[in-house]
Copies of this chain bind each other. A is one copy, B any other.
Amino acid sequence: MNYITGYYTTRFGELWDKSLFDLVEEALRGVLKQNNLESSQIDAVFFGNMLAGVLENNLHSTSKIAEILKINVPIFRSEAACASGGVAFNLAKTYLDSNPNKNVLVIGAEKMTDYSPEETITGLSAAASGEEQETGLTFSGLYAMIANFYLEKYHYTEKNLAYVSIKNHYHGTLNEKAHFRRKITLNDVLKSPYIAYPLKVLDSSPISDGASAVIMTNNLSLAKKQKYSVSVLASEMMSDTISLKERKQIDTILATKLSGNKAFKTAKISRKNINVAEVHDCFSIAEILAMEDLGFWEKGKGGKKIKELSTMYGNGGNLIVNTSGGLKAAGHPVGATGIKQIGEIFLQLTNQAEKRQVKNAKYGLAHNVGGSGGTAVVTILAS
């Protein structure tokens, strides 16, 4: 069994005074300190990052981490667009599965605000297919197409989508590390400017900076020594085509469905056991699809279910979703997101989630998506 024994995240937001590696260093040192470990006790590092190559002409990130930690161990960088963090975690788990008694660091980070919007948006478009990029379709445009299809097929309106953002912004007010910490109303969402119809500014996650790190170990005696520890029941990753035109159904993210099914099978628990989940809400429509494709809600019912706000903290539901604020309000520093999701579940399962602590949370799920569904990683943790 693999255990997560520590989690540290920088604040997410527009951190103009911090470079990518300032953020990486803060997260690495933060999580090591939490576990009272020296870097010399680390056996391997897994780093999730999307854009350092494109934005900073930086393709030596693993060596920079060796320099920061002053250690010689294998350090891997994984890239899978917005799922880069989740994939790093998945590879770390695979590494532990075949290397007994090891401690690994898993870190995700992204620095996005030092660039012009054109640079950042071009970089993010690299997650879309070449064909889609050539048509001028942005990332928001792709999810807007999915949203239009979904709303029409199941007879919903933009209002239904808005409740995702209302909920996640409320959760953001409860999380000190979140990019946005203010409540928003239905009216706020509906009156915010369109980015790509029907998606508006307040349907969309922001461009953020941040870094998040966890320590994972399969050394049971070390895990037992730590104050906090959660068990990794499953981490499953799945790839799919990226162009929407290659998909059989654009209102289903097949990679989510397949990795979710596999993860529940591996973890040997049912959907009903999950008390807290962090799902990939890069756009409001994405959280609805995630809840359906993960099997929490029936396909097509998500638009109705979200309006009930049973997944919002404080409403007494059995499953609370995106207590961190999700990508929408906690922010979306691309490579960090997958690790922050896992970290938030760690906080919930160890009773460290403070103002947003879900009572008696025993099982949690983290769900990270790359691009418009080219990759999905589903991780299931237990207290």
Contact = CB atoms under 8 A, between A and B. Distances in A.
Interface of A: 45, 50-51, 53-54, 56-60, 62-67, 72-81, 87, 90-91, 94-95, 97-99, 122-123, 125-130, 133, 237-243, 246, 254-255, 258, 370-371, 374-375
A246 B67 contact: yes
Contacts of A45: 239
A47 to B, nearest CB: 10
Contact of A67 (B50, B54, B242): B242
A299 B255 CA distance: 51
Contacts of A64: 129, 241-242
A78 B72 CA distance: 19
8 closest cross-chain pairs (CB), A and B: A63-B374, A97-B98, A63-B242, A59-B126, A75-B239, A98-B98, A67-B241, A53-B53
A45 B90 CA distance: 14
Contact of A63 (B66, B75, B76, B241): B241
The CB with the most chain B CB atoms within 10 A, among A45, A58, A74, is that of A74
A239 B53 contact: no
Given A53-B54, A59-B54, A91-B91, A74 B237 contact: yes
Contacts of A53: 51, 53-54, 79, 126
Given A75-B239, A91-B91, A242-B67, A123 B374 contact: no
A60 B255 contact: no
A interface: dominant SS: mixed
A73 B238 CA distance: 6
A374 to B, nearest CB: 3
Copies in the complex: 2
Given A374-B60, A375-B63, A74 B126 contact: no
A37 to B, nearest CB: 18
A97 B63 CA distance: 26
A57 B375 contact: no
B240 A58 contact: no
Given A54-B54, A94-B94, A128 B74 contact: no
5 contacts: A57-B126, A72-B238, A72-B239, A72-B258, A76-B237
A28 to B, nearest CB: 14
Contacts of A66: 239-242, 374
A67 B254 CA distance: 13
B126 A239 contact: no
Contacts of A242: 60, 63-64, 66-67
A191 to B, nearest CB: 34
Contact of A239 (B63, B123, B133): B63
Contacts of A128: 60
Contacts of A129: 60, 63-64
B238 A74 contact: yes
A123 B53 CA distance: 8
Contacts of A237: 74, 76
A127 B54 CA distance: 13
A166 to B, nearest CB: 32
A78 B84 CA distance: 11
A62 B375 contact: yes
A31 B54 CA distance: 31
The CB with the most chain B CB atoms within 10 A, among A64, A99, A370, is that of A64
